[in-house]
Amino acid sequence: MLRAMDKKLAETLTGWRRHLHANPELSLNERNTSAFVCERLKELGIPFVAGVGGHGIVATITRGNSNRSVGLRADMDALPITETTGLPYASNTPGVMHACGHDGHTTSLLGAGALLMQDTNWAGTVHLVFQPAEEGGGGAMNMIKDGLFSRFPMESIYGYHNWPGLEAGTVMVHEGPCMAGGGRIEITMDGLAGHAALPHLTRDPMVAAGHVLVALQSIVARNVDPLDTAVVTIGTIEGGKAANQIPSKVTMRGTQRFYRDEVRDLLTESINRVAHGIATTFGMKAQVDVSVGIGPTVNHKPNAGLAVEACNEFGIPVRTDMQPAMTGEDFSWFLRERPGAFVWIGNGPSEPGRDLHNDAYNFNDEILPNASGFLAGVARRALRG
């Protein structure tokens, strides 16, 4: 069920979203996107501070004498993907695309600001947090280090991600883990190069890497508690230039995913143990770098319940029955600083090839009223306690 919104506002938001879609910018480079948001905030009459943690913006709306406060967040960056949608408002920037819907997230937060400015039936302070660099650029942590929560005090914070495959406009609320934590894996097997016909004179890192690749799969199967969830995946293997040479090095890169910090630590220790152990077995050295980019996104139970209450109060369809995802979200760092909840809002059917991070993906403008309505509604509900 899609909410009704003033036709003029809905058309305005659609225009803004399509402008952002046509002009995407990568993480840490959202200069024009940030300027566009600032101009729209000026039009709405909402005061703001720009340049928070890079190209981040925090806009503030205050009503009445209440000292209660809440934050709402949207991300602004795009991905290094070449768009294939053929839409009239397709990306004008070669090799860059809003393939994850951040253009829609940013627009719906502007829409929430518009709704809150129109509504006088609430009291307190709402901070609209427009975050840069969600796609691996450390934008959330940059804003935190720049004093986000000290400069703009907020008791709690909420956000959302559009979700293909979930009914358009339906809000999905998880009680607990919503999305996984993740980190990058890089393993280099450092051997001794030589002629492919004389392998006994070498230390073959290619064979060693093959053993590492297989052995890594035993970590989740035989080290992680079956009641926990984890992923260890190697996505690239690079080594060698000539078919008749055994190379000196082979480098593997991949990712780890987890829902608990304890599992993260277990994965890190196990990856190091496996790689170094196999390197020793084959008479060579291993260089292992396991970095944690984001923590798990874990909703606080009372705030998840409040999000459900807000949906019910403001007539937005809500579900609580879907499993969390192994994809990651920078919002996790905000939830370590303040209680809150991160929800999914259905983008409608996930047609073949039109899921997140796909070159044919497109944000569904029809869900903007529900998305803006949810953000404004959960803020009003939070300010009441």
Residue-wise pLDDT for 325-351, tens only, equals 999 999 999 999 999 999 999 999 998
Q: Structurally, how many domains does the chain consist of?
A: 2
Residues 155, 247, single domain; the answer is no
Which pLDDT score is estimated for 7?
95
1, part of any domain? no
**Whether the predicted pLDDT of 1 surpasses 80:** no
Which pLDDT score is estimated for 4?
78
Contact 359, 82 (CB under 8 A): yes
Range of the domain at 272: 180-294
Q: What is the mean pLDDT of residues 73-91?
A: 98
Last residue of some domain: 294, 315, 334?
294
368, part of any domain? yes
pLDDT band of residue 33 (cuts 50, 70, 90) is very high
Does the pTM surpass 0.85? The reply is yes
2, part of any domain? no
CA angle 100, 105, 109 (to 5 degrees): 170
Dump pLDDT digits (tens) for 113-151. Answer: 999 999 999 999 999 999 999 998 899 999 999 999 999
Dump pLDDT digits (tens) for 346-381. Answer: 999 998 878 999 999 999 999 999 999 999 999 999
**Whether the predicted pLDDT of 160 surpasses 90:** yes
Task: Say if strands 69-75 and 157-164 run parallel, antiparallel, or are unpaired.
Answer: parallel
Quick one: tokens of 378?
A: 């959960």
**Whether the predicted pLDDT of 288 surpasses 90:** yes
Which pLDDT score is estimated for 128?
99
Residues 21, 152, single domain; the answer is yes
Residues 240, 354, single domain; the answer is no
CATH of residue 359? 3.40.630.10
Residues 131, 162, single domain; the answer is yes
Residues 35, 136, single domain; the answer is yes
Residues 153, 193, single domain; the answer is no
Q: What are phi and psi of 329, to 5 degrees?
A: -150, 125
Last residue of some domain: 245, 262, 294?
294
* Interacting residues of 42 by C-beta distance below 8 A, sequence separation 6+: none
51, part of any domain? yes
Number of neighbours of residue 283 by Cβ within 10 angstroms: 12
pLDDT band of residue 233 (cuts 50, 70, 90) is very high
144, part of any domain? yes
**Whether the predicted pLDDT of 43 surpasses 90:** yes
Which pLDDT score is estimated for 273?
98
Residues 25, 106, single domain; the answer is yes
Q: What is the mean pLDDT of residues 232-252?
A: 97
Q: What is the mean pLDDT of residues 246-266?
A: 96
351, part of any domain? yes
- CA distances 316 to 3, 16, 128, 193, 275, Å, are 7, 23, 21, 63, 50
Mutual orientation of helices 301-313 and 368-383 as an angle, nearest 10°? 120
Which pLDDT score is estimated for 251?
98
Residues 155, 109, single domain; the answer is yes
Residues 254, 331, single domain; the answer is no
Dump pLDDT digits (tens) for 181-220. Answer: 999 999 999 999 999 999 999 999 999 999 999 999 999 9
Which pLDDT score is estimated for 147?
98
59, part of any domain? yes
Which pLDDT score is estimated for 151?
98
Which pLDDT score is estimated for 14?
98
Last residue of some domain: 261, 294, 327?
294
Residues 26, 149, single domain; the answer is yes
CATH of residue 275? 3.30.70.360
